[in-house]
Amino acid sequence: MRAAESRDLRRWRRIGPAPLFEDACVARDPMVSRAGDRWVMYYTRCDDPVSRRSGVAYRTSEDLLRWSEPSMALVAGSSPPMFNSGFTESPFAFERGGWHYLSVTAYPIAWDATFLYRARSPLAFSEPPAARLTAHAAEWISDPRTGALYMTHAGPGQGGVWLSAVSGF
């Protein structure tokens, strides 16, 4: 993972000559959020290079430049081994109503198979998922004025990014 900065969101400059960190099994798809006094980065990677079960790792930071060692937020234990953690792509974590949610896309099942996990801790999710949704690389948006929840859906051939209202949580 690397860091970059921009003043106008058009021109970006990498920070430092080296990656922030490297990790196993084609680590990718970072998602960063604030949790109290620290930052949490969730990202796709396998649980370890030997078993190669798809998973979502996390690291924490106080300054977005120095990151903790990795821990696993989710291991898809029922998934077959893969070199690239294809069952847990595009992780996105959010909190709602005292529960923490983690969505991942499992392209080996279907390009638009998104699984939603629910837990009381933002750092410890387990199987089975709470729901299977039809979306690719879902991200979640909560309207702070109304409390309405929305899910995005994107991908090749979709003609853009789609936004759907979600209810029930």
The pLDDT confidence band at residue 169, using thresholds 50, 70 and 90, is confident
Domain ranges, ordered by start, for the chain: 17-133
Q: Are 31 and 41 in contact (CB under 8 A)?
A: yes
Would you place residue 23 in the very low, low, confident or very high pLDDT band (cuts 50, 70, 90)?
very high
> What's the pLDDT at 74?
98
Query: What contacts 135, CB < 8 A, 6 or more positions away?
Result: 103, 105, 112, 114, 151, 152, 153, 164
Band of pLDDT at residue 157, cut at 50, 70 and 90: confident
Residue 86 backbone dihedrals phi, psi, to 5 degrees? -65, -15
Tell me what pLDDT residue 156 has: 82
Superfamily of domain 17-133: Glycosyl hydrolase domain; family 43 (2.115.10.20)
Backbone phi, psi, residue 87, to 5°: -85, -5
Return the DSSP state at 87: G
DSSP code, position 162? E
Position 35: which residue type?
A: A
